[in-house]
Amino acid sequence: MDGHTMDRTEIERFLAQSLADRKLSGGEKQALAAWLAEHAKSDQRKGEIRHAAFELARIAVADPDASHVVAWLEDAMKAIVPIQPGSAPREMSPDSAYFSPGEECLQRILRRLHSVKRAADLCVFTITDDRISRAIVDAHRRGVALRIISDAEKANDLGSDMQQFQQEGIAVRLMRVMSADSRSSGHMHHKFALFDGLRLINGSYNWTRGAAAINYENLIDSADPGLLQRFAAEFERLWNG
């Protein structure tokens, strides 16, 4: 398809057709780049197309050809957001790090929850900080598609808000982690979240009041495409496992 003839609705169909064979061909790259140059000049529009590509890949990584999906996504990102040596795309704010005790980490999580527009995937050991829980529920009520993976054992702890999320209609998966011989158990100990396929937050920071008030913790906020791809694939693996 000629890149100059694709309208705003056709671009997502074009991406889906490209992904069908798990490869972005040279001709498809040229068509995509041509369409972007003419119709996606703003950072916001490019972000929307990036989100569409990540959504397609997120759905597809559950199939047996997931490794090819990642390769397709890498090629698509190079076309949508070409990176020149020594530079970064304007829509990507720099990666940043935050630390506790203190509210740096908390405020970064709240900022992402308040600004997310379409979808958020949260993969967190436990959530007991009501400030974060309120932001999650608010996002759900304004139409954000939310999925939460958390540890099944911690979901029963005093102060856990998993039951509240389920009652709100938020999609929640509680994981029980057993050893291969089923003689010992572990935990779903991740603490990461993905927002609109554009931002990743990850680190030791537990989503609890104690983490902000007492603990030495860290949190990284990143737009790195490679990290987004890896963490999105891990979320899908756990969600569909």
Give 49-88 pLDDT, tens digit per residue.
777 777 777 677 655 556 566 667 767 776 776 545 444 4
Is residue 189 part of the annotated active site? The answer reads yes
Predicted confidence at residue 113, as pLDDT, reads 97
The whole-chain average pLDDT of the chain stands at: 83
Predicted confidence at residue 4, as pLDDT, reads 41
Predicted confidence at residue 5, as pLDDT, reads 46
User: What are the structure tokens assigned to 137, written together?
Assistant: 């529920």
Say which range, 52-56, 128-132, 237-241, has the weakest mean pLDDT.
52-56
Other residues' Cβ atoms within 10 Å of the Cβ of residue 53: 25
Q: Is the pLDDT of residue 1 over 60?
A: no
If you average pLDDT over residues 215-231, what whole number do you get? Answer: 94
Of 95, 196, 221, 224, which one is the catalytic site residue?
A: 196
Of 75, 161, 191, 221, which one is the catalytic site residue?
A: 191
More confident residue, 69 or 116: 116
If you average pLDDT over residues 195-220, what whole number do you get? Answer: 95
- What is the rounded distance in angstroms from the CA atom of residue 131 to the CA atom of residue 63? 37
Q: Residues of the chain with pLDDT > 70: what percent?
A: 82
Of 117, 187, 189, 224, which one is the catalytic site residue?
A: 189
Is residue 140 part of the annotated active site? The answer reads no
Is residue 191 part of the annotated active site? The answer reads yes
- Phi, psi (rounded to 5 degrees) for 135: -65, -35
If you average pLDDT over residues 228-239, what whole number do you get? Answer: 94
What does the radius of gyration of the chain's CA atoms come to, in whole angstroms? 19
Positive or negative CA dihedral for 161, 163, 166, 171?
A: positive
- What is the rounded distance in angstroms from the CA atom of residue 56 to the CA atom of residue 59? 5
Tell whether pTM > 0.75.
no
Name the nearest CA neighbour of 174 among 185, 183, 187. 187
